[in-house]
Amino acid sequence: MKSQALSDLIARTRSCRRFRQAEGIEMATLRELIDLARLGGSARNVQPLKYLPVNDPARNEAIFPHLGWAGYLKDWPGPPEGERPAAYIVCLLDTRLAKEAGCDLGIATQNILLGATVRGLAGCRIGSVSPTLGRRLDLADHLRILQVLALGHPLEQVVIEPLGAEGDIRYWRDPEGVHHVPKRSLDELIVAAGAGE
């Protein structure tokens, strides 16, 4: 893969919160995405993450009310019926293997979201998950929900913006429904040696 192609893939892998709900995602595809997570790095190579793939309408409906959507969009309670995720991957910590997941979760979810993008899909990490979801899904006691990945065929356009002069990092949606995500500039991120002295 050319480096430009990799940059484009990463830039296109944006959080998406509105989907063509009627277009499903096969269980085989969810398994392929989880296999990408499997190949990611893991602290001490413990690999304590487990995954629950869900793609049936009844369980999708059971999961949805437990999720918090786009905290900065105060007037938007989340995607309406018809624009909801077609599938989820519930990311779990196997507490028999480790007490915390460290960086593994970020690596795993990024691999999944990159894999979704190349398949024409999109998704969003949902860290805002109600503590009652585990019971609703009848999970074994040793499995702790860390995050839920919402997945589907994208319905919304997401664009990256430079941060405004006032430095506001909040994403916003314009009247046409395009979702704008401010990102800090490269120069702001790179620290000169000895800058703290």
Ligand X SMILES: Cc1cc2nc3c(=O)[nH]c(=O)nc-3n(C[C@H](O)[C@H](O)[C@H](O)COP(=O)(O)O)c2cc1C
Of 41-49, 86-94, 123-131, 132-140, which segment contacts ligand X by CB under 6 A? 123-131
Task: For the segment 16-45, give every residue that binds ligand X (CB under 6 A).
Answer: 17
Of 4-12, 28-36, 50-58, 121-129, which segment contacts ligand X by CB under 6 A? 121-129
Q: State yes or no: residue 173 binds ligand X (CB under 6 A).
A: no
Q: State yes or no: residue 69 binds ligand X (CB under 6 A).
A: yes
Q: State yes or no: residue 128 binds ligand X (CB under 6 A).
A: yes
Ramachandran area for residue 177 (φ above 0: left; ψ -120 to 50: alpha; else beta): left
**Residue count at the site for ligand X (CB under 6 A)?**
14
Q: State yes or no: residue 181 binds ligand X (CB under 6 A).
A: yes
- The angle at the Cα of 21, spanning 177 to 107, to the nearest 5 degrees, equals 80
- Give yes or no for a contact between 20 and 153, defined as CB atoms under 8 angstroms apart: yes
Binding residues for ligand X (CB under 6 A): 14-15, 17, 68-70, 124-128, 158, 171, 181
